[in-house]
Amino acid sequence: MFAHVRPAAARLRPLNLSLICFKPRFNSTGIGSQLGPRRAVVYNENGNPAEVARVVSSTDPVLLRDEDVLVRFLAAPINPSDLNVIEGKYPMRPEPIHEFGASSDGPGIFVGGHEGVAVVVKTGPLVDGPPTKPERRFRVGDWVLMRKPQTGTWTNWKVVPMRELRRIDRTKKTESKVTEAFAATLMVNSLTSLGLMTDISPIPGWHSYILQNGANSAVGQAIIQTAKQMGIKTINFVRDRPDYPQLKQYLMDLGADHVFTYDELLDRSFKKTFESLRTPPVKACRHAFNCIGGPTVAAMAALLDKNGHLISYGGMSKQPIILPVGLQIFKNLTAHGYWHSHTWEMIGQKEQDNRIARMVAWKELGRWKDPEHEELVLKGDDEEATGILREGLKRVQEGNIRKKVLIKWASPKDS
Amino acid sequence: MFAHVRPAAARLRPLNLSLICFKPRFNSTGIGSQLGPRRAVVYNENGNPAEVARVVSSTDPVLLRDEDVLVRFLAAPINPSDLNVIEGKYPMRPEPIHEFGASSDGPGIFVGGHEGVAVVVKTGPLVDGPPTKPERRFRVGDWVLMRKPQTGTWTNWKVVPMRELRRIDRTKKTESKVTEAFAATLMVNSLTSLGLMTDISPIPGWHSYILQNGANSAVGQAIIQTAKQMGIKTINFVRDRPDYPQLKQYLMDLGADHVFTYDELLDRSFKKTFESLRTPPVKACRHAFNCIGGPTVAAMAALLDKNGHLISYGGMSKQPIILPVGLQIFKNLTAHGYWHSHTWEMIGQKEQDNRIARMVAWKELGRWKDPEHEELVLKGDDEEATGILREGLKRVQEGNIRKKVLIKWASPKDS
Do B253 and B223 sit in the same domain of this protein?
A: yes
Regarding whether B331 and B221 lie in a shared domain, the answer is yes
Question: pLDDT tens digit string along B200-244?
Answer: 999 887 778 999 999 999 999 999 999 999 999 999 999 999 999
Q: What pLDDT is attached to residue A11? A: 38
**B159 plus B201 within the same structural domain:** no
Indicate if A199 and A93 belong to the same structural domain.
no
Q: What is the CATH number of the domain that holds B98?
A: 3.90.180.10
- pLDDT > 70: percent of chain B: 88
Res. A400 pLDDT band, cuts 50 70 90? low
**Within this chain, do residues A318 and A215 fall inside the same structural domain, yes or no?**
yes
Closest-CA residue of chain B to A321? B323
Examine residue A315 and state whether it is found in any structural domain, yes or no: yes
Given this model, what pLDDT does residue B312 score? Answer: 98
Most A-contacting residue of B290, B322, B329, B331 (CB-CB within 10 A), to test interface = B329
Whether A24 is covered by a domain: the verdict is yes
Which residue, A383, A365, A356, A389, is CA-closest to A86? Answer: A389
State pLDDT tens for residues A233-256.
999 999 999 999 999 999 999 999
Helices (H), ranges, A147-259 = 180-184, 191-198, 218-230, 244-254
DSSP characters over B267-307: STTHHHHHHHH--SSP-EEEEEEESS-SHHHHHHHHHSPTT
Whether A162 is covered by a domain: the verdict is no
Q: Which of B90, B209, B262, B338 is catalytic?
A: B90
Q: Which residues of B touch A330 (CB under 8 A)?
A: 91, 337, 339
Looking at the structure, tell me whether residues A300 and A378 fall in a common domain.
no
pLDDT digits (tens, 9 = 90+) for B94-126: 999 999 989 889 999 999 999 999 999 999 988
Answer yes or no: is A122 within a domain. Answer: yes
Higher pLDDT, A412 or A260: A260
Cβ(B321)–Cβ(B288) below 8 Å: no
Band the pLDDT of B1: cuts 50, 70, 90: very low
For residue A324, which residues of chain B lie inside 8 Å, CB to CB? 315, 320-321
Q: How far apart are the CA of B286 and the nearest CA of chain A, in angstroms?
A: 14
Q: Are residues A52 and A192 in the same domain?
A: no
- A264 within 8 A of A272, measured Cβ to Cβ: no
What are the CA-CA distances from residue A198 to residues A49, A357, A378, B140 (Å)?
33, 15, 37, 57
- Are B290 and A314 in contact (CB < 8 Å)? no
ipTM of the modeled complex = 0.86
| A207: phi then psi, degrees, rounded to nearest 5 | 75, 15
Residue B91 DSSP class: S
Catalytic residue positions of A?
90
Closest of B152, B135, B146, B177 to residue B43, by C-alpha: B152
Nearest CB neighbour to B339, from listed A290, A332, A336: A332
**Given this model, what pLDDT does residue B211 score?**
98
Task: Please report, for residues A97, A173, A328, the alpha-carbon distance to residue A137 in angstroms, rounded to integers and kept in the order given.
Answer: 27, 16, 50
Q: Given pLDDT bands bounded at 50, 70 and 90, which one contains residue A279? A: confident
Q: Are residues B132 and B79 in the same domain?
A: yes
Residue A304 three-state SS: coil
Domain coverage including residue B239: 187-342
| Same-domain check for residues B192 and B173 | no
| Residue (of B234, B188, B239, B244) closest to B212 by Cα position | B234
Q: Which of chain A's residues have a Cβ under 8 Å away from the Cβ of B336?
A: 328, 332, 334-335
Partner-chain contact A325 B312, CB within 8 Å: yes
Average pLDDT over every residue of B76-89: 95
Cβ neighbours of residue A217 under 8 Å, at least 6 residues apart?
A: A291, A314, A316
Last residue of a domain, one of B342, B358, B387: B342
A227 & A335 share domain: yes
Cβ separation of B321 and A326 shorter than 8 Å? no
pLDDT at A399 over 70: yes
**In this structure, are B148 and B60 located in the same domain?**
yes
Q: Which of B323, B342, B361 is the last residue of a domain?
A: B342
Which residues is A410 bridged to in the sheet?
A: none
| Mean pLDDT for all residues in chain B | 89
Q: What mean pLDDT is predicted for residues B141-153? A: 95
CATH number of the domain residue A17 falls in? 3.90.180
Q: Tell me A292's DSSP state.
A: S
CB contact under 8 A, B329 and A322: no
Per-residue pLDDT, A6:
37
Give B311-322 pLDDT, tens digit per residue.
Answer: 999 998 999 999
- For residue B12, the tally of other CB atoms under 10 A from its CB is 10
The predicted structure's pLDDT at residue A5? 37
Q: Is A121 helix (H, G, I), strand (E, B) or coil?
A: strand
Given an 8 Å threshold on Cβ–Cβ distance, is A327 in contact with B334?
no
Query: What are B327-339's pLDDT values in tens digits?
Result: 999 999 999 999 9
Chain segment B62-81, per-residue pLDDT in tens = 889 999 999 999 999 999 99
Task: Calculate mean pLDDT across residues B43-63.
Answer: 95
Q: Please indicate, yes or no, if residue B354 is contained in any of the structural domains.
A: no
DSSP summary character for residue B320: -
- How far apart are the CA of B47 and the nearest CA of chain A, in angstroms? 20
Q: Is residue A181 part of a domain?
A: no
What is the reported pLDDT for A173? 62
Segment B11-45, tens digit of pLDDT: 333 333 333 334 566 655 455 457 899 999 999 99
Q: Are residues A319 and A379 in the same domain?
A: no
Residue pair B332/A330 in contact (Cβ under 8 Å)? The answer is no
- Residue A293's closest chain B neighbor by CA? B325
The DSSP symbol for B188 reads I
CB pair distance less than 8 Å for A329 and B323 = no
Report which of residues B411 and A310 the model is more confident about: A310
Within-domain flag for A331: yes
Give me the number of domains chain B comprises: 2
CB–CB contact B325 A312 (8 Å) = yes
